[in-house]
Structure 1
Amino acid sequence: MTAVAVFIVLIGLMGLVGSLIPTYQICHQKQAGHRGWHLLLAMIGMFILGYVGFLWMLMHRNTASLEMVVAAVFSAGGGFVWLVVKMSQETILTLQNTLAEKHYQAYHDPLTDLANRHQLYEKIDELSQNENTHFCFLMMDLNDFKMINDNLGHDAGDKVLQIIAHRIQTMMPMQALAVRLGGDEFAVVLPSSCIDQAKQLAQSIQQHIMQDILCEGHRLAVGISIGIACYPQDGEDRKTLMKNADIAMYKAKRSGNTYETYSTNDDINDFPQS
């Protein structure tokens, strides 16, 4: 009976030992690292010592019915701890994945996977909080995109937007943020940059986007108008900066140039507002 009792207790001991790693992982997860898990980890360590002590006792005395009952309780206890810890870890992981997915959806455009307007606002606000920072903001609008939707349908239009978004993303330098504002409007935040760097990026984006797009058996060439405004000289807050970049963009659209930079001489009344 001693060998049977030892085997039964070992099953429970393996459950406790198997619980150590997942409990330790839960303790070090930022969202789930509650002090209760640290206490549970310490208690599992104490349980393991108790199990080892009971095993030593079993091997040095005759095993009776009472010892068998206790061995069964120890075995079930170890299995119970392992089961609870594993189920808790899986539940926490599922919740974290759900939260991460919801967070991603809240900050990204579902069609193009670019950052969305909400993430743009937070990025500009974050950058503008630093008094010594300077950055450029590019507002972009596709030329005559409505014709694609009207002639080829919205499915084709969505495909074109996805291709253009991918091309814009591939042109982004490090730390730059590419954004889809909605419809056929895009934007770029270019941290720690000067106006010359913004102009260079605008030219590169235009050249890349102008490459033919094959869609629904048609070869399309899509143009883009880009307006550039720089912080802080063209706007000391997000609303002003975006408005002035919008004005510069419509100046580019009206003039037929690839891009235009904002100037204080631009009259807001001369340009439509998006």
Structure 2
Amino acid sequence: MADNWHERNPRMLRGLHHARSGQVGILTDWRLFSPDEIAREPFEQEFAIRFDCVHYAGSFIPIDRDSFLVLSMERSKRRGAFLGAELDDVARFIEMTNTALSYAIRAQKAVTTGLVDSLSTEKTAWAWLDGHARPCHYSASFNAMVGRFFGSRNGRLAPLCGDTDGFGFLVAMAAVGEQINMSLTVANPANPADTATVRIVPLRTIARDMASRGDVLLSIEVNPIQRPSIEDILTRDYGLTKAEVRLALLIWEGNKLRSAAETERITYETARSRLKIIFNKLSVGRQADLILKMSELLKG
């Protein structure tokens, strides 16, 4: 049902109607459409004939509440419709396939969800997505990060802050088995310093084209928050120059003003003038207050 393709396919729409109404079983062209409908439907008259798939038989195998696996056997007008004993053979084949595939799909889902849950920790969380970034299963630790780094957009997982298009491209490439070692950094919009690294690996590495995307596993690892240095704080928040920062650091480290002036290779009077400017910018009046203020800034 990717990209609502089924909405442009009359056979798919009519088959889904039957499946969702509980009439899951063998379906054929003459069971889905009347002769008049086939005669009026451009899809049946143009597309089906063009691709030599006029007659078909198939079924919709339920996977989840709103998810079906479509099994379709198609053939040309020359072979004619599926009728009689041949239709009975098709029905038996579909029933056997339904049983086998339903079991395989349930088993795959159980294995994949178990893998996602077992791989996840507080620091690194995993999720199972389809090839269009729609969630299939979140681990508990990943679910805790939804709203912090990720949100939902049209039913698809998307970063709350960062390169949304880049994330979609990363999923698409992994879904077709390409560029599987790429990573992306996402951020918490409430705290841009709170970031995480996202990596995506394919669950299936072979795909014919972009339309046949496989599912992917997504990992997200929270990065340590990088605290700004005292130099960055004094420059960014208080407007100190590089020379003023050096002098303030020397005083903070316990140097006398005269000793600090010698270290900076400036006169004592120049150091006094520079220190007064530092006092003014940090709203303090004594060297002891300057040392206390800088210690508080570093802790904060």
Q: Settle same-fold status: TM greater than 0.5.
A: no
Please, what TM-score do these two structures have when normalized by structure 2?
0.24
Q: Which has the higher helix share?
A: 1
TM-score (norm 1): 0.26
Structure number with bigger Rg: 2
Higher relative contact order (CA 8 A, sep 6+): 1
- Which structure shows the bigger proportion of residues in strand conformation? 2
